[in-house]
Structure 1
C-alpha cells in the first residue's frame, strides 16, 4: 500500500499567509506537466511495486489544471503502477475554479474527492487573506460539486486571526455544517517567515496573532464538531465516521509515498527525499532526465521521532509496541517522559496506546518534542 502526491506549483495570486512553493505565473505550465510526466517515469521503481491506494493533487492550486491535464497525470500513474480499483483520488481546488463546466469535466476523470479551500465565509476576511474567491462562490462551489455527484468533499477553514471574532467563527462553522459535507479541516493561522503576513506584522501594519484567541476558538470548534457528529481523528481534521482522508491518514501512519513536482517530498520507510523548490531548476533537471532531489537516510532516532510526532496527532495514538519494533526498549524510555503529561491530564495511556486529551491537543507539538529521542547522524 502506498500513495502518490503531485505538487502543482501554480496559483492565481499569493495568499498573505502561505509559505508553500508556487508561482503566480502560468507561463511554464505545459513544460511543468511534461517534466512531471518524466519524473513519474524516472521514479517508477521508488515504491517497489506497492499498490497505489491514494493519489493526491496538492499545491499551489491544482484546480488551475484542466480536466485533460489532470487526466494525463493520472493515466501515466496507472501505466506505471498498480492502482487500486477503489483508490482515493483527491484534487485540491479553489472555489473560483469550480464552475459547473469544470466540475462536469472533472466528473469524467478518475478524481473522486475534492478538497476545497474555503478558509472563511466572510468577504472581509477573505480579502485580508488575499484569497481570490468570495464567500458566495465558496458555498456555490460546494453545492455545484454535490449536484454533479461528488459526495466525498472536504473543505478548509482558518481560525485565530485578528478579524475573526468568536461570533464570526461560530457562523463559519455553522455555515460549513449546513453544506452537509463529510470532512472538515481547520487550521490555526500561523505566521510563517518570508510571507506577506510576517512582513505586515514586523512593520506594525497588522497585529500579531493572539494565542489565547486561537486556543479559545479551537476549544469552541471541538464542542461544535462533536455536537454535529464529527470525529476529531487528527488535530486539524474532522470527519463523519468512516470519511477519513485516506491519503493524509497514511502520512500519519507512516505509509510509503512518492512526491512528484518541485518541493514535493517522498518517503519509503528508510529514507526521505525532497525535490528542489524552484520551478526553473526543476524543469532544467528533468530536461536532462535527472530528479533534482536531496536524499536523507533516516536514523533510528529519526524514525522514532517521526512516529511520535505523527501518531500523537491522531485519535489512534502512539502504539508503544510499534515504538519498540523500531527500537527495542524505546517505549520504556518514552513512558518516563510521558508520565508528567499523564499526571497533568494531557495524555492518556490506555492499553499501551498514548493519546492526547482535549487539553493535551493544545500542546501537541510541545509534548511530542519533549518525547523526542536524541538524533545522531
Structure 2
C-alpha cells in the first residue's frame, strides 16, 4: 500500500527529491524484499538526487549484523538510532525494548558499515543524575557519533511513567534539572566540534540532518503511510491513522487524507516558531516579503522585551535566540505569535 500511495501521488512533488526518510513506527523491521520494493517504486516515479540523504530510523535491538548488511547494500546512507540512554535503569523506566548492552553493541556494529549516524538521547529522566547524563554524552563522543538529537523527557498521559509519578514511586523532574542537563548537553557537544544548529539537534560539519532542515526552512514534503503528514508550502495534508481504512481507500485508488489550508497568520506563526529554533533565526525582511508589513511590525514590537532581557539578539536585520534564551525558545516564539 505504501507503493500504491507513492504511485498515486507521483505528481504532487514537481521537483528533485533531496531526502528520503523512513521514520515513525519501526522501519528497521522491513526485510530486504520490502525495502527493495519501496525503493524501486520511489526511483520509478520520482526524480531522486544522486546525493540524496536517505535515512532509516532503527531501534538498537533490531540492528543485528544481518540487518545492518541488508541496509548497507540498500540506498540507505544514514541511520537514526533510538538509543535514548546507555543506562539500563533509564531504559527500563522509559519501557524501551533494548538494554544498555544492546545500545552500545548496535552502535559499534553500525559504525563498521555506516559513516552518517544519528542517535537520540533523552535528558531529564527521573533519577538521572548530572553525572550519569555526562557519562551518556561521553560514551556517544567516544563512539564518534557525528549527529545527536537530544530531547527532554515528556511524561505522556495514561502511561506507566505517569502512574508511577502519581503514586510517588518515581520522583518527578523539576525545571532546574531540565535546565542543568540542557546546559551540560550544549557545553559538552559544542566543545567537541558539534554545531547546535537547532534547539534539539547537534551535528558535526557535513552531518546536519537535511531532512529535518527541510521542515524548519518551510520546504515542501510528501508523507507516505498511515498518519503521515505532507506540506506543499500553503496547505497541510494528513493521512488517516487507521491501518484497515488506509488500505481499503488505496485499494479503491483513493488517497485517505484530509487537507487544511493555512492562513497567513498560521504560516507566520509557524515561520517564527521553526526559525527561532534554528541557527538561521528570523529575518525581519523575510517576514515583510512573505507575510506583509502588519506581521513584520508585530514581530518587531513584540521582540523588544526579549531584546531588552538578553533572550534575543539582533544582528543587522536578523533575530536569534541567545544562549540564555535557548531553553525558553518555544515559549518566546509563542509570545511572538500573531493572534487574530
Q: Could you say whether these structures have the same fold, taking a TM-score greater than 0.5 normalized by the shorter chain as the test?
A: yes
Q: 1:180 aligns with which of 144, 149, 160?
A: 144
How has the CA–CA distance of structure 1 residues 135 and 353 changed in structure 2, closer, same or farther, with 3 Å as cutoff? same
**Candidates 78, 83, 92, aligned match of 1:118:** 83
Looking at structure 2, the residues matched to 324 and 61 of structure 1 have their Cα atoms a distance apart, in angstroms, of 42
Aligned equivalents of 1:62 and 1:128: distance in 2? 24
Query: Given that residues 298 and 338 in structure 2 are in contact (C-alpha distance below 8 angstroms), is that contact kept between their aligned partners in structure 1?
Result: no
> Is the CA contact 1:161–1:210 (under 8 Å) kept in the aligned structure 2?
no
- 1:136 matched residue in structure 2: 101
| Alignment TM-score, normalising by the size of structure 2 | 0.96
After TM superposition, the structure 1 stretch with the greater mean CA deviation from structure 2, 232-241 or 188-197, is 188-197
Deviations 1:110-169 (A, max 9, x none): 000000010000111111111111112112211212212x10000010000112111100
Match of 1:366 in 2: 331
Q: Give, in angstroms, the shift of residue 75 of structure 1.
A: 1.6
Cα distance in 2, alignment partners of residues 366 and 100 from structure 1: 43
Report the equivalent of 2:8.
42
Q: Matches of 2:158 and 2:53 in 1, distance apart? A: 34
Q: Which has the higher contact order (CA 8 A, sep 6+)?
A: 1
Moved more, 249-258 or 320-329: 320-329
Structure 2 residues without counterparts, runs of 5 or longer: none
Match of 2:40 in 1: 75
TM-score (norm. length: structure 1):
0.87
Distance 1:199 1:269 in 2: 41
Spell out the pairing of 1:1-377 with structure 2 (5 A cutoff). Answer: 35-47=1-13, 49-148=14-113, 150-329=114-293, 330-375=295-340
Compare 138-147 and 244-253 and name the one that shifted more.
Answer: 138-147
**SS in structure 1 of the partner of residue 223 of structure 2:** strand
Q: Tell me the CA shift for residue 205 of structure 1.
A: 4.3
Deviation at 1:248, TM superposition (A): 0.3
1:350-374 deviation per Cα after TM superposition (whole angstroms, max 9, x unaligned): 1211111111111111110111112
The range that moved more, 239-248 or 276-285, is 276-285
1:203 Cα deviation after fit = 4.6
